[in-house]
Chain A
């Protein structure tokens, strides 16, 4: 009996120890793919594609999706593991700075050869191709043309800031009569502030960049030459809206829903909203950020991406090859590429099917009409989280009291804050 107890005790202890060990280890075959996905909305499709690929080729593909807004945290911890992601996202210049040492030079690889444009690729200062775009997006002002007409105006009136202002202010003035307002809410909480501190801010960066003949890396300082233009559009947006500017700080308004249910005619957002918005507003269209810059009648939408794949330079050669093969399959296999396009709108690859996204079609229409594309200069924002947080704080103060002094603070956060964060990021 005593012996039996001893044996039992030893067995139990062994179960505990091995149980712990089993949690940590996983067997690793050569030539597998671990995709750390950046876009939560792509997760379901990505999992499905991974399964399809494994069934077809026998290559193991693991897809993990980081929760919204936590990619850099997840990437930092995952990259430290022995089975690190082989395929991850480096989406902007700050990311290039942080992760370039872990990214394989993709120049001349099979996946790079599948691309139909170089416009969305990211390079480091030595010219290494750090990451390649796998989809691109556009943002601007989403408009409900039916409401514009209901208010007695037409889309043809909106070809520049003066036209936009006239229409928006008229709608706001008559909001109670019309039953809808001009702009949907511009909340400043984390779920919405990026539409302004990340996207609308781009108009200032873009025109500065254009004056400078293009940026190839993050500039150390900004001139703030187009701050008044940013103010034009921002003021129009917060002062002609269904929500009072003083109520924006903590959020809680659903801008998308306001637009979808016909409570607002304008909605500042991007092409990824197409599926949601076109359900109830099938005629929805997207116009550029008109802000009072000379010649803006020829402006197009803001096109770019933060979705760029990188391959882990520290992974084994077999894993790297498996990853590149998988990427090529994703963008060239008719079924896989079809699913990718269905979820992402458009992917910049030679053999991928055409997009069904109306807003991306708008972007192409502008380009076809000879308008200039406003590229995503916003991707250069240095120390992006801190920079934007300061901007949000200054805008909150300005929303509560639109005084000249408070705007001066917004300008300080926008222009001088850039220089400060640039210094910090380049220490």
Chain B
């Protein structure tokens, strides 16, 4: 008892931690648990939810559009992961070579990241169509335009952000190591691959994690740029929205007018969470192993 009173920080910790813990519980933990529960329910409004077992999961896995959007999202995530990181690292490397005006360039490259996704989507759809209309086509008419359009948009938006992280990593590479490499007669590329990159592995870990999960979670830009168009209209009247990604698929499912659709969308969202969390953790484990201790 005496010990507690002696340490005022400990005695008052609940006061300072309390609001944050409460906010986190109210804003995250509780909705998350409720979300999992709702994925086993049939509901229109949350308070009228009726338990219906794993029906929603069966419907979600049987949904062709969901599997299509999964593979499309996976392809998108991998391509954007590689391109964003290669470009961001290249820019970061160039901007740490002591070029004149580096600070200005850093600011300029970072700026696209400050624009919201929906706005970006509309702006880029105008840019793409400004070009494509010369060839009598549109980004909404070809799946490949929609795919690469979204890749270009995401690179433009994300490269600057990842660049900042890489610059911090590059600046932390110990000078003495670089100097030692130089004295030992290492070429520029040997220095880059044997000394610099192993030393920025922590940055690579965080950047690949961010771009992988961003790729999977992408919603606003997808909605504003193509909203899933073009569709493949199959002979039986069913459609496949060729550029619809996972998050948009879940959103569209939720607002379908069938009485089961909110529940199915909720089940899809839980599957989506497990997928993104699993992939993210696997990737973290993979790149962490390659980090070196200084």
| Interface set of A (CB-CB < 8 Å, partner B) | 9-10, 13, 16-17, 20, 72-73, 76, 79-80, 94, 97-99, 101-102, 246-247, 249-250, 252, 382-386, 389-390, 392-394, 396-397, 400, 409, 412-413, 415-420, 424-427
Q: List 12 A-B contacts (CB under 8 A).
A: A9-B12, A16-B19, A97-B259, A250-B125, A384-B257, A390-B239, A393-B229, A393-B231, A394-B231, A412-B233, A412-B237, A425-B258
Known A-B contacts A17-B19, A247-B133, A249-B138; the reply to A79 vs B45 at CB < 8 A is: yes
Interface 1/0 per residue, B28-65 and A, CB below 8 Å: 00000000000000001111100000000001000000
Contact digits for B121-163, partner A, Cβ 8 Å, 1 yes 0 no: 0000110010001001111110000000000000000000000
- CB-defined contacts of B133 to chain A, threshold 8 Å: 246-247
> Are B236 and A420 in contact, CB atoms less than 8 angstroms apart?
yes
Chain A CB within 8 A of B247 CB: no
Q: B residues within 8 A CB of A17?
A: 19
Query: Complex formed: what's the CA distance from A389 to B47 in Å?
Result: 31
Give A424 to B238 CA distance when docked, in angstroms. Answer: 10
The residue in B12, B235, B236, B256 that gathers the most chain A C-beta atoms within 10 A of its C-beta is B256
* Bound Cα distance from A383 to B125, whole angstroms: 27
A415–B141 alpha-carbon span in the complex (Å): 21
Report chain B residues within 8 Å CB of A246: 133, 136-137
Minimum C-beta distance from A384 to chain B (A): 7
Question: Are B19 and A13 in touch, CB under 8 angstroms?
Answer: yes
Task: State in angstroms the CA–CA spacing of A13 and B15 once bound together.
Answer: 7
Q: For residue A80, which residues in chain B have a CB less than 8 angstroms away from its CB?
A: 45-47
Write the residues of chain B forming the contact surface with A, with a CB cutoff of 8 angstroms. 12, 15, 18-19, 22-23, 44-48, 59, 125-126, 129, 133, 136-141, 227-231, 233-239, 241, 252, 255-260
Q: List A contacts of B138 (CB < 8 A).
A: 249-250, 396, 400
Q: Which 7 A-B pairs have the closest CB atoms?
A: A416-B237, A393-B231, A249-B138, A420-B237, A94-B257, A390-B239, A250-B129
Which residues in A have their C-beta under 8 angstroms from that of B44? 76, 98-99, 101
Give the contacting residue for A425; candidates B125, B228, B257; CB below 8 A: B257
B257/A412 in contact, CB under 8 A = no
Chain A residues within an 8 Å CB radius of B126: 250, 252
State the Cβ distance, B201 to closest chain A Cβ, in Å: 41
When A and B form their complex, what is the total count of cross-chain residue pairs whose Cβ atoms lie within 8 Å?
116
Q: Are B231 and A389 in contact (CB under 8 A)?
A: yes
Q: A9-B15, A393-B231 are known contacts. Are A249 and B141 too (CB-CB below 8 A)?
A: yes
17 further A-B pairs in the complex, CB-CB below 8 A; given A384-B257, A396-B141: A13-B18, A79-B45, A80-B45, A97-B257, A249-B140, A385-B252, A389-B228, A393-B233, A393-B239, A396-B138, A409-B233, A412-B237, A416-B237, A417-B233, A417-B239, A418-B237, A420-B237
Neighbour of A386 across the interface among B45, B236, B256, CB < 8 A: B256
Let me know if B233 and A383 touch, CB within 8 A: no
Q: How far is the CA of A98 from the CA of B241 in the complex (A)?
A: 24
Q: Which residues of A contact B227 (CB under 8 A)?
A: 389
**CB contact between B258 and one of A76, A384, A389, A426 (< 8 Å): that residue:** A426
Residue of A whose beta carbon sits closest to that of B133: A247
Contacts of B256 on A, CB cut-off 8 Å?
383, 385-386, 424-425
B residues within 8 A CB of A397?
141, 230
Alpha-carbon distance between A20 and B27 when the two chains are bound, in angstroms: 12
Instruction: Across the interface, name the chain A residue whose C-beta is closest to B242.
Output: A393
Contact of A392 among B47, B229, B259 (CB under 8 A): B229
Tell me what chain B mostly uses at the interface: helix, strand, loop, or mixed: loop
Judging by beta carbons under 8 Å apart, are B237 and A417 in contact? Answer: yes
Q: A98-B257, A426-B258, A427-B260 are in contact. Are A390 and B231 (CB under 8 A)?
A: yes
- Please tell me if the beta carbons of B237 and A393 are within 8 angstroms of each other in the complex: no
A contact residues around B18 at 8 Å (CB):
13
Roughly how many angstroms separate A426 CA and B235 CA in the complex, as a whole number? 21
When distances are taken between beta carbons in the complex, the residues of chain B under 8 Å from A415 are: 237
CA distance A98 to B138 in the complex (A): 36
Contact check: which of A247, A250, A393 meets B230 at CB < 8 Å? Answer: A393
Provide the bound-state CA to CA distance between A101 and B45, in Å: 11
What are the residues of chain A within 8 A of B255 when measuring CB–CB? Answer: 72-73, 385
Q: Are B15 and A427 in contact (CB under 8 A)?
A: no
Shortest beta-carbon distance from A19 to chain B in Å: 10
In whole angstroms, how far apart are the Cα atoms of A228 and B23 in the complex?
59
In the complex, what residues of B have CB within 8 A of residue A425's CB?
256-258
| Chain B, residue nearest A78 (CB) | B45
Chain A neighbourhood of B19, CB < 8 A: 13, 16-17, 20
A246 to B126, CA, bound (A): 15
B222 to chain A, nearest CB (A): 14
Q: A13-B19, A246-B136, A250-B139 are in contact. Are A427 and B239 (CB under 8 A)?
A: no
Query: CB within 8 A of A400: which of B141, B233, B236, B237?
Result: B141
Pick the residue among B59, B137, B236 that contacts A416 (CB under 8 A). Answer: B236
**Closest B residue by C-beta to A396:** B140
With both beta carbons as reference points, the residue of chain B lying nearest to A400 in the complex is identified as B141
In the complex, how many angstroms separate the beta carbon of B14 from the nearest chain A beta carbon? 9
Closest CB-CB distance, A191 to chain B, in whole Å? 12
Name the residue of chain B whose CB is nearest to the CB of A73. Answer: B255
Kindly report which residue of chain B lies nearest to residue A99, judged by CB atoms.
Answer: B44
CB distance from B48 to the nearest CB of A (A): 8
CA–CA, A252 and B126, complex, Å: 9
Nearest CB in chain A: distance from B30 CB, A? 14
Distance in angstroms from A198 CB to nearest chain B CB is 15
Report A219 CB to chain B, min CB distance, Å.
Answer: 14
Residue from the set A386, A389, A393, A419 with the largest chain B CB neighbour count within 10 Å: A393
